[in-house]
Amino acid sequence: MPQQRDALTELVKAHVGRGRRMSTREFSAVAVDPDTEWSPSKSLVAKIIGDQGYDVTPQLVGAIAIGLGLDREIVAAAAHLQVIGYTAAELTKGAPAQMIRLVGSEGEPTDKAQAVADRWDAEQ
């Protein structure tokens, strides 16, 4: 059974906003998709970190990857987990495994990540 969590949102929230590495304005300025030169507006970034609904697009994934200085594959794995989900086995290797370690390594998401991992272990 696929597991889902707001991994892309968690990834952005871990680095952007008050008391974080970048403000929404700073992030919007540097987060530019290299293929299309599209960048999220400050208000879209605020929606993302404010847990409001937003559409995940390839351009957004590319922009977030550049803005956070992460491999696109890791950000795409976070988007995949948020929108589609992964099975527990899919999260054990490659970009999905790197992503789950990354979103679980920042503050509050750690508890959530551990709870998900514990639940998966119990199901096996």
Q: How is the chain split into domains, by residue range?
A: 7-123
The answer, yes or no, to whether residue 102 has pLDDT greater than 50, is yes
Q: Residue 69 has what pLDDT?
A: 94
> Which residues on neighbouring strands pair with residue 22, listed in sequence order?
16
Q: Residue 1 has what pLDDT?
A: 46
Query: pTM score, two decimals?
Result: 0.75
For residue 44, count other CB atoms closer than 10 A to its CB: 17
Q: State mean pLDDT over 88-103.
A: 78
Q: Residue 92 has what pLDDT?
A: 80
Q: Which CA distances in Å does 119 have to 27, 102, 122? A: 34, 19, 5
The band of 83, judged by pLDDT with boundaries at 50, 70 and 90, is: confident
74 phi, psi to nearest 5 deg: -70, -45
Q: State mean pLDDT over 49-66.
A: 94
The band of 17, judged by pLDDT with boundaries at 50, 70 and 90, is: very high
Mean of the per-residue pLDDT values of the chain? 83
The band of 73, judged by pLDDT with boundaries at 50, 70 and 90, is: very high
